[in-house]
Structure 1
C-alpha cells in the first residue's frame, strides 16, 4: 500500500484591490489616531505647498509689474565729487542724454529746498518727510505715472502754483478729493492740488513727494535748475549700450560723479531675498513633514502591537508573511496619502487666501502638488516598512497566545 502526499495548496493571492480594502479597514477602526497622524503629514505638506505657492505667486506678480512698467528704465543721480562734497548734474544733461542712440524718452525731477505743509499754521519742523521736486511735464510718459485723481502738470499748470502729490504724501495730508479746491502751504505761499499719483514701483521716491512745474519752482521756490534724477527709457535691445555711456554723456566733464542704476534690478534683488527666505521656510516645512512621518511610524507600530490577535488569526488561516507585510505597508501608504492630499488642499487654500489678500494672481505649480503627494508616499513607505516587517515576522502561535 502506497501513500500519496497531496500537494500543498498555494495560498490565495492578495490582489491590489483587496490590499487597499484591507488596509482601509484597518484605518477605519482607529479614526482619531489616523486623523492626528494624517494631520502631522498634512501640516508639513501644507507648509511646503504654501511657501512654494506664495513665492511663485509673488514672482508672477513681479513679472506682471515688470512687464507693465518695463525693465528698460535707467536713472541717473549725482554722486560725490573727489573731495567728498555733493555733486550735481549739468542743466543741459537732459537734452544731452536725449541725443544718445537708443534712447526713447527722457525726463527729470529736481529737488528743491522748499517744504510743504497742510496749512500755514503747521510748525516748520513738522514736514512729514515729504520732499518738494520740480518736475518736467513729460515725466509721466517716461516712468509711467498713473493718477488716481485730478490731472498732471501741463504747459499751463507748470507756470502756475499747482502741485501734484504722491500717494503717501496725499495720505499724509488727508487729501482725498482734489475737486474740492484743496490747497497746501508750499514754500511761502499756497499751492492748489491738481492731482494725486498712484504708487510707483520703479520710482518709489515720488510716493512721498510734492511735484510742481519746473518754471514755477525757479520763480517761486528758488530752484537752482539742476536735475537731481534723470529718468531714461531705452530701446529694449540697447539698454546695456545706453547704460554704459549714460554717465559720460550726462556729465562729460565729470562722468565719475554720476551714478547710473536700473530700478528693475532692485525689484529683482528683492525677489531674490524673498526666495532665500522661502528656502528657509521650505526647510521648516521639511522638518514638519519628517515629524509627520515619525507620527505615521508610531501609529503603525502601535497598530501592530494592538492587532497581534488579528495577525495570528490571519496567519493561521493561511495568510503569508508577504500578505501581512503588504497589508500594513498599504495602511501606511493610505495614511500618508490621506495626509498628503489634505496638505496639498490646505496649501492651495493658504496660497489662494494670501494671494487674494495681496491682490496677486494665485499660482501653485503642478510639480509642487505632485511632489507633495509623492513625498508623502515616500514618507509613508519608509515609516511603514519596519512595522510591516515586524507584523510579518510574528509567529501565529505567539500572536494568538498574546491575545
Structure 2
C-alpha cells in the first residue's frame, strides 16, 4: 500500500497536481482556518504570547520611565553639588580665607556657597545645656563644634526649624552665639529659642539663636554646634577654612568645579581638592542600562513561557490532525508545504499576541506614569518590534511540531 501511495503521489505530481496544490494565498487561508477552527484554544494560546509581550513592553517602558525619574532626581540634587577641600597649610597664612567665598559667589552658575571649618580637636567636645552640675546627672553630651559662614543653611540645602542663623553682624561683633543641629538640640533638650537658651562648652556660655534641620548635604551637622567664624577662632581655635560647599545651576557643576579653586586661592589652586559630580549623561545611561537589563530578563522569561505554550498547543494540534495531514500528503502535498502550514499557524498566533501585547503594554506604561506623575518614556522601536518579536517566538515555537507533521508518511497517517 505504501508503494501504491508513492506511485499515486508521483503520478499526481506528473499531472501538475503536486506543487501547485497550495500557493501563498492558500497557505495563509489554510493557516487562518486552522487558527479559527478552535477559537477558544487559539485564544488561550495567544494569551500566553500576549502576557509575554505585555510583560516585556511594560518592564522596558516602566524601567525607562523610572530610570529617567531617577536621573532627574540625581540631576536636581547630586549633579549640582561641588565640594572644595582645603588642605592644612604649613605656613601661618591659610590657603583660603573666609572672604574667599564671595569670589566664588560671583561665578556664573553658582546658586549658593558657604565655608566650613572643623578639626579633630573639636570633633568631640563636651556640651551642656546648663552650668549646673547635679550629682548623678549626665554632665553633657559629646558633640562636634564647627564654624560656618552665614550662607551655610542654603549651601547644605537645609532650613531653620527654629530661630535664625547668625549673620554678618554677629560675626563682626564676635558674638558668642550658636546654632544647633536638630539632633544636637534634641539631645540637649532644647526645642525652642524664644527664651534664649544657652549651651556651655569649654567653660563658656553661648546663646542658642537657631536650630538647623533637614540638611541634605553635610548631614553630620545635625549633631554639631555651629559657631560664627570669628567667635570659633577666638574661643576654640577654629579659624582655618577646611571645606567650601557650592551649589550650582543644573549643567554648571563641571565649569564651576574648574573655576572655584582659582577664585578661592589664586596661584595655589593646585593645592585644593575638588569633588565634582560625574557627567549626568553618563549617569543617565548607566542607570537606565542597569534598570533595563534587570527588567529585560523578567520580560524574556515571560516570553519563553508564552513560547512553550504555543509549542505545546501546536504539537497537540498536529496530533489531532494526523488524518488531515495524511490525506493532504496522499493528494500530493510536499513535506515543505505541510511544515509551512503549521509554521504559518504558529507564527500567526505569535503575531496576534505581539500586536495585542504591545498595545496593552503601552497602555499600562502610560497609566503607571499618570498615577505616579511621571513623564512616560515610550520607544517607537519597542512598539514596532514587539509584534515582530511575537511572530519570531511563534515561528520558533512551531518548528518542532511542524517538522514532526512533515515527517509523517501518508499511509501511516491515514491508518492512524
- TM superposition score normalised by structure 2: 0.63
Residues 245, 172 of structure 1: CA spacing in aligned structure 2 closer, same or farther, 3 A cutoff?
Answer: same
CA distance, structure 1, for counterparts of residue 353 and residue 99 of structure 2: 69
CA distance, structure 2, for counterparts of residue 182 and residue 374 of structure 1: 71
CA distance, structure 1, for counterparts of residue 289 and residue 251 of structure 2: 34
Pair 1:163-2:179 in alignment: yes
Across the two proteins, how many residue pairs are aligned to each other?
Answer: 373
SS in 2 for 1:364: coil
SS in 2 for 1:329: helix
Pair 1:132-2:142 in alignment: no
Pair 1:334-2:352 in alignment: yes
Superposed CA offset, 1:178-213 (max 9, x none)? 477696846354653624343335x55656654333
Cα distance, 1:58 vs structure 2: 0.6
CA distance, structure 2, for counterparts of residue 178 and residue 256 of structure 1: 44
- TM superposition score normalised by structure 1: 0.65
Mean Cα displacement is larger for which, 295-304 or 92-101? 92-101
CA distance, structure 2, for counterparts of residue 312 and residue 184 of structure 1: 99
Indicate which of 203, 210, 220 corresponds to 1:194. Answer: 210
Cα distance, 1:110 vs structure 2: 1.9
| Structure 1 gaps, min length 5 | 1-5
Pair 1:59-2:71 in alignment: yes
For the 8 Å contact 2:347–2:392, the answer to whether it is kept is no
SS in 2 for 1:163: strand
| Structure 2 gaps, min length 5 | 1-14, 131-136
Q: Which residue of 2 aligns with 1:298?
A: 308
For the 8 Å contact 2:351–2:390, the answer to whether it is kept is yes
SS in 2 for 1:307: helix
After TM superposition, the structure 1 = structure 2 runs for residues 17-166 of structure 1, keeping only pairs within 5 Å, are 23=35, 26=38, 28-29=40-41, 39=51, 42-65=54-77, 71=80, 74-79=82-87, 89-91=95-97, 94=100, 97=103, 107-111=114-118, 113=122, 115=125, 127=142, 131-140=144-153, 143=155, 145-147=157-159, 149-155=161-167, 159=175, 161-165=177-181
Cα distance, 1:107 vs structure 2: 3.3
Superposed CA offset, 1:44-69 (max 9, x none)? 55444443332122112233447xxx
After TM superposition, the structure 1 = structure 2 runs for residues 221-240 of structure 1, keeping only pairs within 5 Å, are 221-231=235-245
For the 8 Å contact 2:311–2:398, the answer to whether it is kept is no
Superposed CA RMSD:
5.2
CA distance, structure 1, for counterparts of residue 189 and residue 358 of structure 2: 51
Residues 310, 146 of structure 1: CA spacing in aligned structure 2 closer, same or farther, 3 A cutoff?
Answer: same
CA distance, structure 1, for counterparts of residue 362 and residue 138 of structure 2: 55
CA distance, structure 2, for counterparts of residue 95 and residue 150 of structure 1: 26
Q: Which residue of 2 aligns with 1:214?
A: 229
After TM superposition, the structure 1 = structure 2 runs for residues 175-324 of structure 1, keeping only pairs within 5 Å, are 178=192, 185=199, 187-188=201-202, 189=205, 191-192=207-208, 194-200=210-216, 206=221, 209-218=224-233, 221-231=235-245, 243-244=257-258, 246-247=260-261, 250-251=264-265, 254-262=268-276, 265=277, 268=280, 272=283, 276=286, 279-280=289-290, 282-308=292-318, 309-310=320-321, 312-313=323-324, 321=338, 323-324=341-342
Structure number with larger C-alpha Rg: 2
